[in-house]
Amino acid sequence: MRLKRGSVAVVGAAESDLGLVAPHTSPLDLMAQGTIRALEDAGLKLSDVDGLFAAATQVRMGPMALAEYLRIKPRFFDGTIIGGSSFMTHVAHAQAAIEHGLCEVAVIAYGSTQRSVSRAAASPREYNYYESPYRPILPISAYAMAAARHMHQFGTTREQLAEVAVAARKWALMNPKAWEKEPLTIEQVLNARMVSYPFTVRDCCLVVDGGGAIVLTSAARAKSLKKKPAYVLGVGEALSHATISNMPDLTVTAAAESGPKAFAMAKLEPADVDMLSLYDAFTITPILFLEDLGFCPKGEAGRFVSDGAIAPGGKLPVNTSGGGLSYCHPGMYGLLVMIEAIRQVRGECGERQVPDCKVALAHGNGGVLSSQCTVIFGSEDAL
Amino acid sequence: MQSLAEASPLGTYLEHLKKGELAYQVTGDGKPVFFPRAVAPVTGGKLDWRVSKGLGTVYSTTVVYYKGEAPLNVSLIDMDEGFRLMSRVEDIDAMNVKIGMRVKFRVHPGDEKQPPYPVFTPEAAK
C-alpha cells in the first residue's frame, strides 16, 4: 500500500505571532492561535477538525493538550516528535489517515516560547553518559562536526557556509514577518562570536518564539474551499541515528533516502522543482540537503551556493522566507519550512514570490541530522 | 541474554574503565558495537565484551566556546577496532586537534557527579 500522489492538499496555513511574545504566553496559546488562523485561511471551523497532530518540546503530550485547549475530540491524532521534521512526518501520517477515511480535516500545530523562557528551559537536553561529559553545545557542536568533516573531505570553506547565511538574510529583508531587518555580509558572519568551530553565532539559527498550523483535507474537499490547494505530491521519511556519535557518515544525511522516496511518489525529479524550503538550523544543513536531495553532486554544494546562487536573483531560490537563520526559528522549525513552500505554490509571497511556482520542496531535519523528511507540494498545474 | 537485574551494559563498561580499560562489544560474527547494549543491534543476538588497544584517529572535531572558560575540544574518535565514540583530545591546544590525527586513550577519573570517562591525547606525545 502506498500513499497516492495528490490525494490530499494543504488548504490552510498560518503562523502564530512570531518573535517575542508577551510574558506568560504558553506554547499552547501559540498553537491555538495558529490553528484558528489556519482554519480561517481555509474557510473552515474548529468543528470541522477531526484529525489533530501536534508536537512541541515544551508540551510533552501535544495532541492531548491541544485537544483540551480547543475542546475538540479528534477521531485521529498523532504526536510523533522527532525534532524539527516532526511536522513533515505529520503530513505523511495525516495523508495516510485521510486516504483511509480515519479523518477528513487534519490540523498540524506547533508552538514554542523559547526566546521568552530561554532555549535551555524550552528544550532541556537528555543526559547521555557517552556524550554529556564532553560538554558539546548540542545541537550546535554536532552540526559543527558535520561541517568540519565536509570541509575536510570536500574543501568546503567557511566563506561558502557564510554564503548560506547571507542569502537567507537577503530573502528575509523581503519578508515583513522576518525577525532580522538589517543586511548581513560574509565578513560579518566570519567575524561574529565563535560558538562551536567552524560556526559563529551567524552560522546558527535564530532563537525566537513562534508557531503555527496547517490544515489538510482530501483533494476532493480541497476544491470547494477558499484558497488554491497546495497538493501533497510526494512525501518521504527517514531516520538514521539519534546521537551524532552514531551517525554513520557525517557528510551524508538520510535526506538521501527521504528525497528519492518523495520524488518517486511525486513522479518528479529535482529539475522539476521551482523553489526549495530547506531546514537551515545551521549554514551546513542546506549544503548537505542540496547534495542529498539531488540538486548537485556530493561534496559540491559549497561551490554551488557561492556567488549568491541561492539568494534573490540566483539560479535556485532556496529559503525565500529568510529561513531559520533570518526569518524565524522557534526550535522545531519544520512547520514554518512547509508554510513558506505552501505560500510559494499558492503565489502569496509578494515581493519574494518565485514566478510561476508550481512545485515547491519542503525538507525537514530533526535532532542532530537524525530525522529527515521531505514533502513536495504542487499547485493544480503540477497535478 | 544477561539479566539486567545483575549487571547493566554501562555498569560493565564502567567496571572496565575503573581498571583503565576501554571496553566495547562484538557481535557473534565479530562486528564491533558501541555504545554498550543489552542486545546486539540488527540481529538481537548476544554480545561479547572486548578491550580496545586504545588507539584511534580523529574523525571530526569542534572547539566549543563557553563564556569565561578556555576553548574546549570535542571530537569523534574512530578506534582501530572499528567503533566510534565521542571524546576530547587533551594535552594540546583545542584548535590544533585535526581530523586524521592519531590519538591514544586514557581514563578521566570523573568527579562526584560524573563517573569516569575516556579521553584522548595525541599519540605522538610523550
Task: Tell me: do A111 and A186 sit in the same domain.
Answer: no
Task: Tell me: do A336 and A263 sit in the same domain.
Answer: yes
* Whole-angstrom distance, CA of residue A218 vs CA of residue A98: 7
* Whole-angstrom distance, CA of residue A355 vs CA of residue A350: 10
Is residue A278 situated within a structural domain? yes
Give the alpha-carbon dihedral of A236, A211, A143, A310, to 10 degrees.
70
Find the CATH number of the domain harbouring A364: 3.40.47.10
B88/A129 Cβ within 8 A? no
Number of domains in chain A: 2
Q: Hunting for cell 525529479 — which residue is that?
A: A269
B60/A146 Cβ within 8 A? yes
| Interstrand relation of A105-112 and A210-218 (parallel, antiparallel or unpaired) | antiparallel
Task: Tell me: do A224 and A239 sit in the same domain.
Answer: no
Strands (E), A247-336: 275-278
* pLDDT for residue A1 is more than 80: no
Mean of pLDDT values over A27-32: 98
Q: How many residues does chain A have?
A: 383
Asked if A10 contacts A232 with a C-beta cutoff of 8 angstroms, the reply is yes
Backbone dihedral angles phi then psi of residue A363, each to the nearest 5 degrees: -120, 125
Is residue A13 situated within a structural domain? yes
Helix A284-292 with A158-172: angle, nearest 10 deg: 100
Asked if the C-beta of B86 comes within 8 angstroms of chain A's C-beta atoms, the answer is: yes
* pLDDT tens column, A48-101: 999 999 999 999 999 999 999 999 999 999 999 999 999 999 999 999 999 999
Task: Tell me: do A95 and A83 sit in the same domain.
Answer: yes
What is the Cα Rg of chain A in Å? 19
Q: How many residues does chain B have?
A: 126
* pLDDT for residue A303 is more than 80: yes
Task: Tell me: do A257 and A368 sit in the same domain.
Answer: yes
Q: Which of A110, A143, A279, A333 is catalytic?
A: A279
B64/A137 Cβ within 8 A? yes
Helix (H), strand (E) counts: chain A: 14, 11
Is residue A1 situated within a structural domain? no
Task: Tell me: do A17 and A149 sit in the same domain.
Answer: no
Task: Tell me: do A266 and A354 sit in the same domain.
Answer: yes
Is residue A2 situated within a structural domain? no
pLDDT band at A274 (very low <50, low <70, confident <90, very high): very high
Asked if the C-beta of B25 comes within 8 angstroms of chain A's C-beta atoms, the answer is: no
Backbone dihedral angles phi then psi of residue B67, each to the nearest 5 degrees: -55, 130
Task: Tell me: do A102 and A174 sit in the same domain.
Answer: no
Among residues A233, A188, A246, the alpha carbon closest in space to that of A374 is found at: A233
Contacts of residue A298, Cβ cutoff 8 Å, sequence gap at least 6: A154, A251, A252, A291, A292
Contacts of residue A135, Cβ cutoff 8 Å, sequence gap at least 6: B64, B66, B72, B74
Contacts of residue B66, Cβ cutoff 8 Å, sequence gap at least 6: A135, A137, B72
Mean of pLDDT values over A263-276: 98
Percent of chain A with pLDDT over 90: 98
Helix (H), strand (E) counts: chain B: 1, 8
Asked if the C-beta of B107 comes within 8 angstroms of chain A's C-beta atoms, the answer is: no
Is residue A220 situated within a structural domain? yes
B88/A195 Cβ within 8 A? no
Mean of pLDDT values over A174-186: 98
3-state SS class at A213: strand
Q: Is B42 exposed, middle or buried (0-12, 13-18, 19+ CB in 10 A)?
A: exposed
pLDDT for residue A44: 98
Contacts of residue A313, Cβ cutoff 8 Å, sequence gap at least 6: none
Q: Spell out which residues of chain A touch residue B66, defining contact as CB-CB under 8 Å.
A: 135, 137
3-state SS class at A219: helix
pLDDT band at A6 (very low <50, low <70, confident <90, very high): very high
Asked if B99 contacts B58 with a C-beta cutoff of 8 angstroms, the reply is yes
Task: Tell me: do A87 and A181 sit in the same domain.
Answer: no
Asked if A206 contacts A326 with a C-beta cutoff of 8 angstroms, the reply is yes
Tell me the count of A-B CB pairs closer than 8 A: 75
Asked if A264 contacts A234 with a C-beta cutoff of 8 angstroms, the reply is yes
Is residue A124 situated within a structural domain? no
pLDDT for residue B2: 74
Buried b (16+ CB within 10 A) or exposed e, B67-87: eeeeebbbbbbebebebbbbb
User: What's domain B53-126's architecture?
Assistant: Beta Barrel (2.40)
* pLDDT for residue B125 is more than 80: no
pLDDT for residue A98: 98
Q: Spell out which residues of chain B touch residue A137, defining contact as CB-CB under 8 Å.
A: 64, 66
DSSP sequence for B3-20: -TTT--HHHHHHHHHHTT
- Beta bridge partners, B1, equal none
Mean of pLDDT values over A308-322: 98
Q: Spell out which residues of chain A touch residue B72, defining contact as CB-CB under 8 Å.
A: 135
pLDDT for residue B1: 65
B66/A134 Cβ within 8 A? no
Mean of pLDDT values over A148-163: 98
* Whole-angstrom distance, CA of residue A345 vs CA of residue A185: 30
Task: Tell me: do A224 and A283 sit in the same domain.
Answer: no
* Whole-angstrom distance, CA of residue A318 vs CA of residue A276: 5
- For chain A, the distance separating the N- and C-terminal CA atoms, rounded to the nearest angstrom, is 21
Is residue A130 situated within a structural domain? no
Cβ neighbours of A160 (radius 10 Å): 22
* Average pLDDT over all residues of chain A: 97
Asked if B55 contacts B47 with a C-beta cutoff of 8 angstroms, the reply is no
- The residue out of A186, A216, A231 marking a domain boundary is A231
Among residues A163, A195, A178, the alpha carbon closest in space to that of A283 is found at: A163
* pLDDT tens column, B101-124: 999 999 999 999 899 999 999 997
Among residues A107, A76, A104, A103, the alpha carbon closest in space to that of A91 is found at: A107
Asked if A304 contacts A276 with a C-beta cutoff of 8 angstroms, the reply is no
* pLDDT tens column, A221-249: 999 999 999 999 999 999 999 999 999 99
Percent of chain A with pLDDT over 70: 100
* pLDDT for residue A175 is more than 60: yes
* pLDDT for residue B126 is more than 60: no
* Whole-angstrom distance, CA of residue A270 vs CA of residue A262: 11
Q: Spell out which residues of chain A touch residue B63, defining contact as CB-CB under 8 Å.
A: 194, 196-197
Task: Tell me: do A67 and A159 sit in the same domain.
Answer: no
Q: Where are the domains of chain B?
A: 1-51, 53-126
Where in the sequence is the domain holding A113, given as residue range(s)?
A: 8-119+208-231
* Whole-angstrom distance, CA of residue B15 vs CA of residue A176: 58
**What distance in Å separates residue A297's CA from the closest CA in chain B?**
22
* Whole-angstrom distance, CA of residue A329 vs CA of residue A281: 8
Retrieve residue A73's grid coordinates: 475530540
Mean of pLDDT values over A145-174: 98
* pLDDT tens column, B4-58: 999 999 999 999 999 999 999 999 999 999 999 999 999 999 999 999 999 999 9
**What distance in Å separates residue A58's CA from the closest CA in chain B?**
25
Among residues A9, A52, A12, the alpha carbon closest in space to that of A223 is found at: A9
